[in-house]
Each structure stands twice: as structure tokens, then as C-alpha cells.
């Protein structure tokens, strides 16, 4: 206890220097906490948006469908899958896909038609809520169509525009129908923006002469299960289908979230840890030279080098401890603010991650981990940054130190 008291008094021999160092280290800690919070928040948002927008946590397709997306490769038995999802309270939507041509006046474009059930899409996924103009479909929206943003632009189509649709049906016949634009989506994801033409599943069945061909089942538990848990639940009972998690369907985003989290946290942790370490080391070196005569006297009356090393190291630890408390309080306060209110980046264009457009309000994520890492790093900093000045003090010649002049 006496050693702690002595170290405490020594720190405040030069209060200005000590306060500046504490402020600098506290700032490093707070920035590190805030930065980690924002990075984790961005990654969590990217995963949440990816799974909740349209992909889901798991998708099920007929074998080989993702290789060529043929109209004829559809799921044969969906009742059992629905039963598993219902039993485990997992959201499920069925989608039908087909390709064709849309014409509006003199303009035309190839497109992918989606046959959907609007109520379920709105219940379990978010893309149907991202309407820029008009409205999404409802169960009475016969011969109505919702277009991706860029597709509508290429067709010069607006809400209410009349579109002529040409497709080849499942029976080989050529189908054509008139549809009217019900709504235009906001920027959602590049493949949807450029080519999605969304119609009722009943209209899809008529247009493509399809007898309830289901090409995709998307499952979304809203985080109640991991993607791998859902995959295993289905795989245990359903065979001869392809069951993919969102990570397998969107490997780029999965890789980006994993690598970005590690790389950015390591990079910025290193930068701020080194900065804090240099600050502490500089203070302890200056303090050591200021007290050179004192250390000489300690050695002259029998003090051991270990005693001096312990004293200098303890001063560094106390300094860092004070800075850690201040930095943690400051960093957590700001991180909690950003977790609740976020940071609006809408003025800087769309906030996108791996081609998926996200909510422009960038929020942080606060957890115990964002505090533990800086505190551990700062403790190590306090120990290692004191070793050099402590070794200087411990190696001094008592006679030379007593006659040392600043």
C-alpha cells in the first residue's frame, strides 16, 4: 500500500505532464471503443440487411437450379418444408422465377419475373417495404407489377404505365399480357434494381402456364436461429434439394464481414495502442530523468534495481488505470449515443455493403467486448511502456546519479 501511495505522489510531481498524458491515453481508449462499436454496428447491419431484405437466412432450391435457373427445375414437395418451418416458428416464403421481355412504348428490356405472395413477403422480409413510388402488391393486385428502380428507368416507366410482357410458358407456348405498374422499388440490391419484375404468384402461374412451380423457398427466423441451425433442421428431414445459408449464397458479403471485422479492429487497435504506449513511455522517461538523483540515493542506501523497476512500472499502471476509467466512460457514452441515434450518411449517397443498399442511418453496437479489448491492450501498454524507463532507472550508477544535473 505504501508503494502505491509513493507512486501516486510521484505521478503528481508534474501535474501538467501527468494530466496531458492521461488525457491523451483516455482519448485513445475512447476512440478505440467508439470505432469498434461503429465497425461492429456496420457489420451487424450488413448481415441483418442481407438476411432480412430478401435473401433470408437459408434458401432451398431444386438440385442444380442455381447453376442454370431453369423454369423446369422447381421444388416438388414443399409441404414438409412448410411443416418444419411452422413447427419451429421460422418465417417462410415461396417464390417462382421466370425470364421474359417487358416492353414500354419503344423501349424494352429482358427481365426476371418474380411470382410472390405479398402478405408473406411483407411479413417476413423488408424489400417489399422499400417502395420509392406507388405501392407494393396486395392479394387483389391482378395484372399489376412492381419494378426494380433501374429497370423502371430503362423502360421510362412510371406508376400507372402500361407494360407489355412476353414470355415462353412451361408448356412451350408464347405468353403475352398487359400489366400496369403498381410501384417502383428504391435502390435495394443491384440484381433487383436492374432486372426484378414482381407480380402475384397467381399471375405468374397464368403467364408462364405454370402449375404452382416453386423455384425458391426463403427462410428467415429474424435471428432466433443461426443460419446453420436452420440448414441442419431442414437437411435432417428433406433430401434431394439444395439447402444454402446466406453465407453460401452471398460469399462476398460473408467474406467481407469476417475480414473487415478482423482487419479493421487489428489495424486501429494497433495504431491507438502504439500511440498510447508512446505517450506513457515518454512521460515515464521524462519522470525518470527528473528523479535521477532520487533513484541514485535509493541505490546508495541499498535499494535494489527491482524496487526501482517496480516503482516506475506501478506509476505507469496507475496512470493508465486512471486514463482507462476516463476513456471508458467517455467512449461508452458516445458509443451508446450512436447505438441509439446513429449517424446519418444519406447525404453521402447510398450506404451499401457488398452491393446491398442499407439504411442510411449508421448505428453502433455496444457490447462487453468493445471495452475488454482496449482495457487489456492498455494494461499491456502500461507494463511494456514502463520497462524501458524502468531499466534506465535501475541501471544507474549511484554516484553519478547523485551528482546528476538536469
Could you tell me the residue ranges of all domains in the chain?
2-51+253-402, 58-220
Nearest alpha-carbon partner for 280 in 392, 395, 387: 387
Distance in angstroms (rounded) separating the CA atoms of residues 189 and 2: 64
- Whether the per-residue pLDDT at 406 is higher than 60: the answer is no
Which residues are within 8 A (CB) of 96 and not within 5 positions of it... i.e. 6 or more apart? 74, 114, 115, 116, 201, 204, 205, 208, 210, 212, 213, 214, 215, 216
Over residues 123-137, the mean pLDDT reads 92
Which residues are within 8 A (CB) of 381 and not within 5 positions of it... i.e. 6 or more apart? 273, 276, 277, 280, 320
Higher pLDDT, 152 or 4: 152
Band (pLDDT 50/70/90 cuts) for residue 402 is low
Distance in angstroms (rounded) separating the CA atoms of residues 244 and 59: 5
Band (pLDDT 50/70/90 cuts) for residue 101 is very high
Higher pLDDT, 232 or 319: 232
Q: Which of 94-103, 233-242, 328-337, 338-347 has the lowest mean pLDDT?
A: 338-347
- Whether the per-residue pLDDT at 355 is higher than 90: the answer is no
- Whether the per-residue pLDDT at 354 is higher than 70: the answer is no
**Could you tell me how far CA 226 lies from the centroid of its own chain?**
16
Q: Which three cell numbers stand for residue 354?
A: 457488398
Over residues 392-397, the mean pLDDT reads 71
Residue 154 pLDDT: 95
**Torsion sign over Cα 39, 40, 41, 44:** positive
Higher pLDDT, 288 or 337: 337
DSSP three-state, residue 159:
coil
Q: Which three cell numbers stand for residue 215?
A: 423455384
Nearest alpha-carbon partner for 48 in 363, 371, 334: 363
Distance in angstroms (rounded) separating the CA atoms of residues 23 and 199: 60
Residue 243 pLDDT: 96
Distance in angstroms (rounded) separating the CA atoms of residues 181 and 185: 11
Q: How many CA atoms lie within 13 A of 97 on its CB side?
A: 18
Over residues 244-259, the mean pLDDT reads 81
Mind listing the pLDDT tens digit for each residue in 149-187?
999 999 999 999 999 999 999 988 888 899 999 999 988
Mind listing the pLDDT tens digit for each residue in 189-212?
888 999 999 999 999 999 999 888
- Scanning the structure block, which residue is given the C-alpha cell 450506404? 351
pTM exceeds cut of 0.85: no
Higher pLDDT, 67 or 306: 67
DSSP three-state, residue 293:
helix
Q: Which three cell numbers stand for residue 394?
A: 535501475
Mind listing the pLDDT tens digit for each residue in 276-334?
777 777 777 777 777 777 777 777 777 777 777 777 778 888 888 898 899 999 999 99
Over residues 75-84, the mean pLDDT reads 92
The total of other beta-carbon atoms located within 10 Å of residue 46's CB is 21
Residue 400 pLDDT: 63
User: Mean pLDDT, the chain, as a whole number?
Assistant: 85
The total of other beta-carbon atoms located within 10 Å of residue 72's CB is 11
Q: What is the DSSP string of 297-323?
A: HHHHTT--HHHHHHHHHHHHHHHHHHH
Higher pLDDT, 108 or 254: 108
The answer to whether the beta carbons of residues 89 and 221 sit under 8 Å apart is yes
Amino acid at each position: 500500500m505504501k508503494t502505491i501511495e509513493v507512486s501516486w505522489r510521484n505521478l503528481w510531481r508534474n501535474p501538467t505532464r501527468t494530466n496531458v498524458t492521461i488525457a491523451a491515453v483516455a482519448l485513445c481508449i475512447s476512440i478505440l471503443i467508439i470505432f469498434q462499436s461503429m465497425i461492429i454496428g456496420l457489420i451487424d447491419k450488413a448481415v441483418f440487411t442481407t438476411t432480412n431484405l430478401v435473401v433470408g437466412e437459408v434458401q432451398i432450391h431444386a438440385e442444380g437450379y442455381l447453376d442454370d435457373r431453369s423454369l423446369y427445375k422447381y421444388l416438388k414437395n414443399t409441404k414438409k418444408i412448410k411443416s418444419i418451418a411452422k413447427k419451429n416458428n421460422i418465417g417462410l416464403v415461396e417464390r417462382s422465377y421466370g425470364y421474359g421481355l417487358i416492353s414500354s412504348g419503344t423501349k424494352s428490356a429482358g427481365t426476371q419475373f418474380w411470382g410472390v405472395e405479398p402478405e408473406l413477403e411483407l411479413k417476413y422480409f423488408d424489400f417489399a417495404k422499400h417502395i420509392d413510388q406507388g405501392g407494393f402488391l396486395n392479394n387483389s393486385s391482378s395484372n399489376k407489377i412492381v419494378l426494380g428502380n433501374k429497370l423502371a428507368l430503362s423502360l421510362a416507366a412510371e406508376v400507372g404505365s402500361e407494360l407489355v410482357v412476353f414470355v415462353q410458358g412451361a408448356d412451350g407456348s408464347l405468353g403475352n399480357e398487359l400489366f400496369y405498374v403498381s410501384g417502383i422499388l428504391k435502390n435495394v440490391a443491384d440484381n433487383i434494381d436492374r432486372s426484378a419484375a414482381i407480380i402475384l404468384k397467381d399471375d405468374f402461374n397464368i403467364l408462364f402456364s405454370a402449375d404452382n412451380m416453386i423455384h425458391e423457398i426463403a427462410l428467415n427466423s429474424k435471428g432466433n436461429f443461426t443460419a446453420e441451425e436452420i440448414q441442419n433442421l431442414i437437411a435432417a428431414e428433406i433430401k434431394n434439394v439444395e439447402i444454402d445459408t446466406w453465407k453460401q449464397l452471398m460469399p462476398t458479403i460473408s467474406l467481407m464481414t469476417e475480414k473487415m471485422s478482423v482487419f479493421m479492429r487489428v489495424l486501429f487497435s494497433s495504431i491507438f495502442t502504439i500511440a498510447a504506449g508512446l505517450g506513457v513511455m515518454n512521460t515515464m522517461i521524462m519522470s525518470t530523468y527528473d528523479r535521477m538523483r532520487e533513484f541514485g540515493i535509493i541505490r546508495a542506501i541499498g535499494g535494489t534495481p527491482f524496487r526501482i523497476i517496480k516503482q516506475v512500472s506501478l506509476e505507469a499502471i496507475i496512470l493508465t488505470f486512471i486514463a482507462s476509467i476516463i476513456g471508458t466512460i467517455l467512449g461508452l457514452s458516445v458509443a451508446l449515443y450512436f447505438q441509439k441515434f446513429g449517424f446519418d450518411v444519406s447525404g453521402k449517397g447510398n450506404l451499401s455493403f457488398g452491393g446491398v443498399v442499407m439504411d442510411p442511418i449508421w448505428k453502433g453496437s455496444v457490447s462487453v467486448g468493445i471495452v475488454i479489448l482496449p482495457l487489456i491492450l492498455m494494461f499491456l501498454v502500461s507494463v511494456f511502456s514502463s520497462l524501458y524507463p524502468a531499466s534506465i532507472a535501475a541501471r544507474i550508477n549511484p554516484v553519478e546519479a547523485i551528482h546528476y544535473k538536469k
